[in-house]
């Protein structure tokens, strides 16, 4: 890496953990960041959990990430809405990660003439709630979604996720949502602001070309693709852009922190 790297952004799933198990070098990587007093954030498009929940899950896998060092698509969405319309109102489909973030940002959660319909992740999408969202959007509410991921993992296989449900709502309303999470560089920019970091001296570490790497590139960061998640080395040539560097896992980055 040519420029001095002072700050780090890292994806979570596929970089630090896989299905609740720490990946090689992950605990050492985070320890090096903390010991070196490096500003860093762990990013996730998952809007189900609060940072406290995620910190506890990471701790259980042996990775000690402070709650304040976790940045979710729910938090980025709450920040975006606060910038757009401070003290507004929203009808939400999601779980504690999203509702808590909006509540703490000063938003009123309501089904009565909200400013926004905010769609996030949930394990059990309610057809009744989706119908309510459609009618509110038809009535003039603006449509926001935390992230565009169309499926999420489970022990039994893929589950429909935010992007898939957003497509259903869009088909019914003719309205497309604004997606805040990766690959929108908005999420990266909000993370940089959170830790007062500059794009020229920050690196984004991720396991997906179509979310982590492209978001990092569009936000002006150096990017490192790790091969410990969903992307294989021979997948990279299929994309019209490239990461700054490809490594096997975050274990290869510990010495550079």
Task: Kindly report, residue by residue over 49-65, the tens digit of the pLDDT.
Answer: 999 999 999 999 999 99
At 81 the pLDDT is 98
Report the distance separating Cα 149 and Cα 179, nearest Å: 10
Query: Among this protein's residues, is 11 annotated catalytic?
Result: yes
Whether residue 244 is predicted with pLDDT greater than 70 in this model: the reply is yes
Q: For residue 191, which phi and psi values (nearest 5 degrees)? A: -65, -45
Nearest to 66 by CA among 45, 48, 39, 47: 39
Buried b / exposed e over 80-104, threshold 16 CB at 10 Å, is bbbeeeeebbbbbbbbebbbbbbee
Whether residue 153 is predicted with pLDDT greater than 80 in this model: the reply is no
Mean pLDDT of 125-133: 97
By percentage, how much of the chain surpasses pLDDT 90? 92
| 13-22, 75-84, 88-97, 126-135: least confident range | 13-22
At 159 the pLDDT is 85
Buried b / exposed e over 187-196, threshold 16 CB at 10 Å, is bbbbbbebbe
DSSP label of 254:
G
At 19 the pLDDT is 83
Instruction: For the chain, report the end-to-end CA distance as a whole number of angstroms.
Output: 12
Q: Which of 13, 149, 207, 212 is catalytic?
A: 13
Query: Among this protein's residues, is 64 annotated catalytic?
Result: no
3-state secondary structure of 240: coil
Mean pLDDT of 59-85: 97
Beta strands in 97-150 (DSSP E): 108-109, 116-119, 142-145
**Predicted confidence band of residue 210 (pLDDT cuts 50, 70, 90):** very high
At 123 the pLDDT is 86
| Residue bearing the bigger pLDDT, 20 or 203 | 203
Mean pLDDT of 96-117: 98
Average pLDDT, the chain: 96
Whether residue 131 is predicted with pLDDT greater than 80 in this model: the reply is yes
At 2 the pLDDT is 55
Whether residue 113 is predicted with pLDDT greater than 60 in this model: the reply is yes
Q: For residue 7, which phi and psi values (nearest 5 degrees)? A: -130, 150
For residue 112, how many C-alpha atoms fall within 13 Å in the half-sphere facing its CB?
1
Q: 144 to each of 73, 76, 131, 236, how far by Cα in Å?
A: 12, 12, 16, 30
**Predicted confidence band of residue 8 (pLDDT cuts 50, 70, 90):** very high
Mean pLDDT of 46-50: 96
At 1 the pLDDT is 47
Contact 202, 221 (CB under 8 A): yes
49 conformational bin, left if phi > 0, alpha if psi -120 to 50, beta if neither = beta
């Amino acid at each position: 890496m040519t420029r001095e790297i002072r700050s780090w952004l890292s994806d979570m799933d596929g970089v630090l953990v896989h299905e609740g198990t720490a990946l090689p070098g992950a605990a050492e990587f985070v320890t090096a960041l903390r010991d070196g007093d490096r500003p860093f954030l762990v990013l996730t498009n998952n809007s189900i959990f609060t940072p406290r929940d995620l910190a506890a899950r990471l701790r259980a896998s042996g990775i000690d990430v402070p709650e304040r060092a976790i940045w979710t698509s729910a938090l980025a969405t709450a920040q975006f809405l606060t910038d757009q319309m401070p003290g507004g109102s929203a009808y939400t489909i999601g779980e504690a990660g999203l509702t808590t973030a909006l509540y703490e940002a000063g938003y009123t959660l309501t089904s009565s003439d909200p400013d926004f319909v905010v769609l996030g992740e949930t394990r059990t999408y309610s057809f009744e709630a989706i119908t309510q969202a459609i009618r509110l959007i038809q009535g003039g509410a603006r449509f926001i979604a935390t992230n565009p991921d169309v499926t999420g993992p489970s022990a039994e296989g893929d589950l429909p996720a935010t992007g898939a449900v957003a497509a259903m709502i869009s088909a019914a309303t003719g309205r497309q949502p604004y997606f805040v999470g990766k690959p929108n560089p908005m999420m990266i920019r909000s993370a940089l602001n959170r830790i007062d970091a500059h794009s020229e001296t920050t690196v984004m570490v991720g396991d997906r070309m179509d979310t982590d790497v492209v978001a990092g590139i569009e936000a002006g960061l150096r990017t490192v693709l790790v091969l410990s998640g969903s992307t294989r080395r021979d997948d990279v040539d299929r994309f019209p852009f490239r990461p700054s560097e490809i490594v096997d896992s975050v274990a290869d980055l510990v010495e550079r922190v």
